Amino acid sequence: MSAHIAIDAMSGDFGPHLLIPACLAALAEDSSLTLTLVGDASLLSDLLTQHSGWDRARLHVEHASEVISMAEKPSSALRGKPDSSMRIALELLRDQRVQGCVSAGNTGALMALARFTLKTLPGVDRPAMMTAIPTQQDECHLLDLGANVDCSAEHLYQFAVMGSLAAASMGVANPRVALLNIGSEAIKGNQQVKFAASLLEQAEHLNYIGFIEGDAVFRGEADVVVCDGFVGNVLLKSSEGLAQLITERIRRVFQESLTGRLVGGIALPLLKRLQDELSPATHNGASFLGLPGVVIKSHGSADQQAFLSAIRRAKQAVAENLPQKLHGHLGDLLL
């Protein structure tokens, strides 16, 4: 299935120098894909001349004169920069000139601009960022990941509904939905979580299974895990940090002892496979749920491989027609 995706080409910690090779790799692996790079047209064209072998019919450049920095306030991104690459990319999506949009930029600004440009789906107060993380069973869809720092119980409820529909659209039958908490007993947690639990217990169309703790998330005890964006972001990033720590230590274990060195030559490739499976690069690309179009947030620090994963995720979301599915079912489920 063909897809046309807009890329916020000025975004991320490394900007177009890193994103362009990732885009060319995405085009090379899928002949039905078309990309529009949004950003400083002369810079982008210059950079593109350094590469060869790409198909001009499937790679366009759309000029945008401004760039939103990582440290910029959402309010200033919204009001002060009408011609930012992020905003123009979202406007291409709004005007249906593309079917999806990928940015590695400032999360808060992307959230504010996406809400302003695209509006949220009916009944949704705030879009939420969701991604899949590996578990002992399979994977788990976690939301929100940082778009919403403070969440009311109603927001958490809406995230649960959107997450459940999104997981179902990805093939999970009757997704088990849980609220992340610091204990499984009903008395645990803050007010928002306790009240969200009481709302979810009454939601007949949801397979709400109750509270879940951090360790049970990775044991795979739920298919959808709901939390506020502060907590979700900490969970996601600390997991990445720990996975790095563990692979680093494994390498050291094999280097330190003689037996380790002898065995390491054979064992390390096996562990490399594991590392790839758990790597943030493989899982990069969080979906904004609750918007009428496909918006994917890549890690700011994404490398080429990781940004390629984010583009793939955008293609997948376009193919699944996720926004349309959410739009069709949210009405039955929201309060």
Per CB under 8 A, residues contacting a copy of itself are 70-73, 107-108, 134-136, 146, 149-150, 180, 182-183, 185-191, 213-219, 227, 229-231, 233-246, 248-250, 253-254, 257, 259-260, 262-264, 266-267, 270-271, 273-274, 277-278
Rounded Cα distance between 122 and 266, Å, is: 55
Our CB check for a copy of itself shows the closer of 276 and 332 to be 276
- Indicate the residue type of 4: H
Minimum separation from the CB atom of position 125 to a copy of itself (A):
17
Our CB check for a copy of itself shows the closer of 28 and 274 to be 274
The CA–CA distances, whole Å, from 62 to 29, 85, 87, 95, 214 equal 23, 9, 12, 14, 43
Rounded Cα distance between 244 and 251, Å, is: 11
Minimum separation from the CB atom of position 146 to a copy of itself (A):
5
Minimum separation from the CB atom of position 290 to a copy of itself (A):
19
Minimum separation from the CB atom of position 323 to a copy of itself (A):
25
Minimum separation from the CB atom of position 250 to a copy of itself (A):
6
Minimum separation from the CB atom of position 248 to a copy of itself (A):
6
Q: What is the DSSP letter of 175?
A: -
Our CB check for a copy of itself shows the closer of 201 and 277 to be 277
CA 288 remoteness from chain centre:
7
Our CB check for a copy of itself shows the closer of 103 and 107 to be 107
Our CB check for a copy of itself shows the closer of 94 and 188 to be 188
In this structure, what token pair is assigned to residue 154?
């109603």
Our CB check for a copy of itself shows the closer of 182 and 335 to be 182
Within 10 A of 213 (CB to CB), how many other CB atoms are there?
Answer: 15
Minimum separation from the CB atom of position 52 to a copy of itself (A):
36
Our CB check for a copy of itself shows the closer of 57 and 270 to be 270
Minimum separation from the CB atom of position 64 to a copy of itself (A):
22
Helices and strands in the chain, H and E counts:
13, 11
Our CB check for a copy of itself shows the closer of 60 and 73 to be 73
